[in-house]
Amino acid sequence: MRSKSLIQIFILSTLAFLISSVSGQSTPTPLITFTCENNQGIPVTTAKNTEGQTQTIFYWKSNTFYDYVTPQKLCHSVTEKLNNYADKSNNSALFVLQPTEQVGLPSVCITENGFRCDVVLFTLAPNEAPIDRAYQTLKSILNQEISQSIQDIERNNQQEFYFSISLFTNEL
């Protein structure tokens, strides 16, 4: 009987210890978080690091997009996609944006290897020159201070562009 009581005490003590250690663990703080904010009436997507530094990534100007998608909706949608991407890619402060064509529509993607679109950030209205339209749009909304370089590559007789993005570096 005494050994049964000791076993119960041991089990309860072990459970109490495990519960307290699990509840004491916190979710790791993301290295970079993205938010949609308002900057003088213009929705902007910003990145924030653990030291509290912020950098604007996109300025969502209303004259850039078509009527049924507002800059505010795009800002929120892209912000959510960037946060999801950051969670899956270990919060990298470096990534590549690619103006491209998805199902015949001008699109802007995050690409890791330059050969495929890993995340479609947004899609634009149909256009006769979808990649050029996506390129011009991205160039007009992107904060040029964070774009380290624009690479121009010809592949399959088609121009491809890549914007290398570097957040929170002193090299800029």
9-25 pLDDT, tens digit each: 433 343 333 344 444 44
pTM score, whole prediction: 0.75
pLDDT digits (tens, 9 = 90+) for 125-171: 888 899 899 999 998 899 988 876 666 665 556 667 788 888 887 54
Cβ neighbors of 35 (< 8 A, separation 6 or more) are 45, 46, 48, 79
Q: Which of 18, 21, 42, 122 is nearest to 77 (CA)?
A: 122
H or E element at residue 163? strand 158-166
